[in-house]
Structure formats: structure tokens, C-alpha cells
């Protein structure tokens, strides 16, 4: 088959590939402790499921408006007003099949060949390929651990060119868990105010899986002068354990939203009607599920951070949000496994964990973070504890010289 050039430019998501490898090993009878999972291990709350069943029974089974049902749009507007004091009318709200699709359509709607998108690294695996698939050029800016894995105003200013169309800001971030403070967002905004051709795509999908006191800040609210250039994306997948329902949204400039709706009208027509009813119930209904799951995630985060930092050669910082740890494994690189193989990279290290300890993690280079690997703590404390014990054993077995 002759695939188009745009498909040949990209690759399947490494997290999907890792999940496939875990499934294969399990089917061969291996007991794998899987720390690759990018979704909550909780079930969707009962009242959300009930709203979906009600919608089916009430006949809400037809196409909806391209830009989503009025009920869902009003629920989204309600969240943004309550959370960030942001007013948004219907012309500014796009609803799609997951935040992933909304982000893809935003890039498709705005990029021409050679347009640049600044992607701070470590990044969510999909951004660079989404940019490439839409004829753009990802401009990856390294944000080292010493800077909290965050983009600084200096690095941002240095990366902007006349071709820059977007800066992507994922906060709290996948895979780092780092989040920008209001002061950091304000400082980035001051750089952006000088470059009117640049828009900012904020990916706030983990905003409610959040461990600090004050709410997660949002760039559009921190610097209202930039609000017309921010496209704020979010969804219900992570917060309400609704990854399979596929509802996400984006809020921002009306011209962009119109373009996204045009593309959506020629692709999916609209997101699932039943899922939209469920998402509206999730956003407007009781929020105890969110409080309870965040309490559980926090306990797992604290326990796992401690276990990892107790392993000689590994270290990680404490994430502000999300359910991932980005673990520094530079201390293991350059060492030899008991069978004599040299660990040359984070990818070799991840393979060693899988082969010697049956622990599946995702190597950092997939996120633009060589020398690291990602752990998801969206799994039980028992699995996390056992996995960390096996990781410790795998590290203890490494030596500076090959066994003779």
C-alpha cells in the first residue's frame, strides 16, 4: 500500500507500543508488573454511568451539534468560570473525541508547511508527531531537571522565530508531573506579549490530579492580555477515569474554534452523544470521586517517590500533579548487567528491568528525556511496592566492569 508521506513521517505512540509488548509477554505466561499505564486504574463514577444510560434511554443517540451539546458546553464554561474566573461563550468552545483529537485538529487548523511549534522537553509523546503529521516542524527545547523540567523565559525567547505558530505548555506535565507556578506563567507570558504571531496551547488534562494547596493555575487567567492567544485544552479522561468515553475540549480564540469545527464536521461530525451526556454529568455532578482518587494517588506518589529515592543510582523529584514519576537513571548508564551487557541508554535500562525483573516502564528518550524512565503510579500500592523492590534488585546487580 502507498501510504502518504505524512504518515511515513510519524510513528505509533511508544506508550501504545509498550502496552502491546506487555500484552505479548503476559500472553506468553510472564507475570509482568506494568508501570506503563497512562490511565486511571479506577472505574468511571456510578452517577456518570447512570447519566449515560439515561441519555440512551431518552433517545439521545443521534448526531449532536458539531461543537457539542449545549449541556456539555455549558458544563465546560461553568468549570472554567468557577476554576479560573474565565468567561467563555459558545463561539470559544470546541468539543472533540478526547483532548488528543482536539489538539490534533488545532494543529491541523493552523499549521502550514514549515511552521514551527515549540515543544518543551520532556514532552508528552504525541506532540512532535502531531506537529509533523500536520506539516509543521517541532522545535524541541530541552528543559533540564535543574529547571524543574520547565521552560524558562530565556529558553522560550531563544526558541521563537518568525515561523513560530505555537508554544505547547503541558502543566501539570506528562511525564514529569511538574507544574508552572503563577509567577512562572507570568514570566513566560511577558516574553510572548512581544511575539503576537505565537499562540499558546495549554494542555491542562491533569489539572485536577493535583497535590498542592492552591488550584493549578492557567495561563489565560494569569495573563488576561494573552487570553486571546491561548487555546486551553482539557478533558474528562484522567480526572473522572473516563479514558474510553473519548471526550475532550479546547477553549480559545473564536476563529480557531470555527476552523476546528469545520474540520470536525468533515471528519467525525461530532463526538459521541452518549459520552457527551456522561461528561456533562461528570463536570457538573458531585466531585467526591476526584477528592478520593487524588487522596489515593497522593499516598501512592509519596510511597513510590521514597522507594525510588532509596535505590542507589536512581532518583526522582516529587510531582505536583498527574500520576507519573520521571526517574533519573543516569547512575545506571555505563554499567554492566550480570549477563555482561552494557547499559548504554535509558532504553537499555528499561529493557533490563523488563528482562531481569519483569517490570515494564517507558524509557525517557520517548519523551525527549534520555537518561530517565517513566513510572505510572496509576496502579495499586502492592504492585508499586513489589515493582520498586524488583527495580532495586535489578540495580544492585549492575556492576562497573563486565563479570569475568
Q: What DSSP letter does each residue of 108-148 carry, written as one string?
A: HHH--TT-EEEEEES--THHHHHHHHTT-EEEEEE--GGGT
Q: Per CB under 6 A, does 167 bind ligand PMP?
A: no
Which of 124, 297 has the CB closer to ligand PMP?
124
C-beta of residue 353 within 8 angstroms of C-beta of residue 361: yes
Min separation Cβ 235 and ligand PMP, Å = 3
Q: Per CB under 6 A, does 98 bind ligand PMP?
A: yes
The 8-class DSSP code of residue 342 comes to B
Q: Per CB under 6 A, does 205 bind ligand PMP?
A: yes
Residues 119, 139: Cα–Cα separation, whole Å: 6
Q: Per CB under 6 A, does 203 bind ligand PMP?
A: yes
Crossing angle of helices 273-284/46-57, nearest 10°?
140
Crossing angle of helices 288-309/381-396, nearest 10°?
20
In terms of Cβ atoms closer than 10 Å to its own Cβ (0-12, 13-18, 19+), residue 182 is: middle
Which of 88, 99 has the CB closer to ligand PMP?
99
**Contact letters (x/-) for ligand PMP, 15-54, by CB under 6 A?**
-----------------------x----------------
C-beta of residue 251 within 8 angstroms of C-beta of residue 232: yes
* From candidates 69, 174, 356, 376, binder to ligand PMP by CB under 6 A: 174
Sole window of 1-9, 97-105, 285-293, 325-333 interacting with ligand PMP (rule: CB under 6 A)? 97-105
C-beta of residue 270 within 8 angstroms of C-beta of residue 64: yes
Min separation Cβ 174 and ligand PMP, Å = 4
Min separation Cβ 206 and ligand PMP, Å = 7
Min separation Cβ 397 and ligand PMP, Å = 32
**Contact letters (x/-) for ligand PMP, 224-263, by CB under 6 A?**
-----------x-x-----x----x---------------
Query: β-pairing, 359-360 with 33-34?
Result: parallel
Which of 237, 261 has the CB closer to ligand PMP?
237
* From candidates 71, 73, 79, 100, binder to ligand PMP by CB under 6 A: 100
Q: Per CB under 6 A, does 315 bind ligand PMP?
A: no
End-to-end CA, the chain: 50
Query: CA-CA-CA-CA torsion for 101, 106, 110, 114, nearest 10 degrees?
Result: -60
Sole window of 94-102, 262-270, 279-287, 337-345 interacting with ligand PMP (rule: CB under 6 A)? 94-102
At 46, is the secondary structure helix, strand, or coil?
helix
Residue ranges binding ligand PMP (CB under 6 A): 38, 98-100, 124, 170, 174, 203, 205, 235, 237, 243, 248
Amino acid at each position: 500500500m502507498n501510504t502518504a508521506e505524512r504518515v511515513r513521517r510519524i510513528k505509533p505512540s511508544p506508550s501504545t507500543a509498550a502496552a502491546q509488548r506487555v500484552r505479548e509477554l503476559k500472553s506468553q505466561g510472564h507475570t509482568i508488573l506494568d508501570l506503563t499505564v497512562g490511565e486511571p486504574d479506577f472505574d468511571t463514577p456510578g452517577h456518570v454511568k447512570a447519566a449515560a444510560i439515561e441519555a440512551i434511554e431518552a433517545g439521545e443517540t443521534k448526531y449532536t451539534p458539531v461543537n457539542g451539546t449545549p449541556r456539555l458546553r455549558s458544563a465546560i464554561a461553568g468549570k472554567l468560570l468557577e476554576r479560573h474566573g474565565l468567561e467563555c461563550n459558545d463561539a470559544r468552545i470546541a468539543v472533540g473525541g478526547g483532548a488528543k483529537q482536539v489538539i490534533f485538529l488545532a494543529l491541523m487548523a493552523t499549521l502550514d508547511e514549515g511552521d514551527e511549534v515549540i515543544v518543551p522537553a520532556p514532552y508528552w509523546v504525541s506532540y512532535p508527531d502531531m506537529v509533523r503529521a500536520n506539516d509543521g516542524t517541532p522545535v524541541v527545547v530541552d528543559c533540564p531537571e535543574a529547571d524543574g523540567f520547565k521552560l524558562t523565559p530565556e529558553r522560550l525567547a531563544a526558541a521563537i522565530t518568525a515561523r513560530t505558530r505555537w508554544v505547547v505548555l503541558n502543566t501539570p506535565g506528562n511525564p514529569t508531573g511538574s507544574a508552572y507556578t503563577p509567577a512562572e506563567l507570568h514570566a513566560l507570558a511577558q516574553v510572548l506579549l512581544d511575539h503576537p504571531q505565537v499562540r499558546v496551547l495549554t494542555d491542562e488534562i491533569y489539572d485536577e490530579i493535583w497535590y498542592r494547596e492552591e488550584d493549578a493555575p492557567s495561563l489565560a487567567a494569569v495573563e488576561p492580555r494573552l487570553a486571546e492567544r491561548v487555546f486551553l485544552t482539557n478533558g474528562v479522561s484522567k480526572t473522572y477515569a473516563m479514558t474510553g468515553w473519548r471526550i475532550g475540549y479546547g477553549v480559545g480564540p473564536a476563529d480557531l474554534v470555527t476552523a476546528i469545527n469545520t474540520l470536525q464536521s468533515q471528519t467525525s461530525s461530532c463526538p459521541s452523544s452518549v459520552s457527551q451526556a456522561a461528561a456533562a454529568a461528570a463536570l457538573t455532578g458531585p466531585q467526591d470521586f476526584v477528592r478520593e482518587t487524588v487522596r489515593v494517588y497522593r499516598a501512592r506518589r509519596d510511597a513510590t517517590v521514597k522507594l525510588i529515592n532509596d535505590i542507589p543510582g536512581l532518583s526522582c523529584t516529587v510531582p505536583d500533579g498527574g500520576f507519573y514519576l520521571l526517574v533519573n537513571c543516569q547512575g545506571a548508564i555505563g554499567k554492566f548487567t550480570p549477563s555482561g551487557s552494557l547499559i548504554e541508554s535509558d532504553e537499555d535500562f528499561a529493557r533490563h528491568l523488563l528482562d531481569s525483573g519483569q517490570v515494564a516502564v517507558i524509557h525517557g528518550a520517548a519523551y525527549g528525556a534520555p537518561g530517565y524512565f517513566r513510572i505510572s503510579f496509576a496502579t495499586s500500592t502492592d504492585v508499586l511496592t513489589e515493582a520498586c523492590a524488583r527495580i532495586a534488585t535489578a540495580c544492585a546487580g549492575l556492576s562497573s566492569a563486565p563479570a569475568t
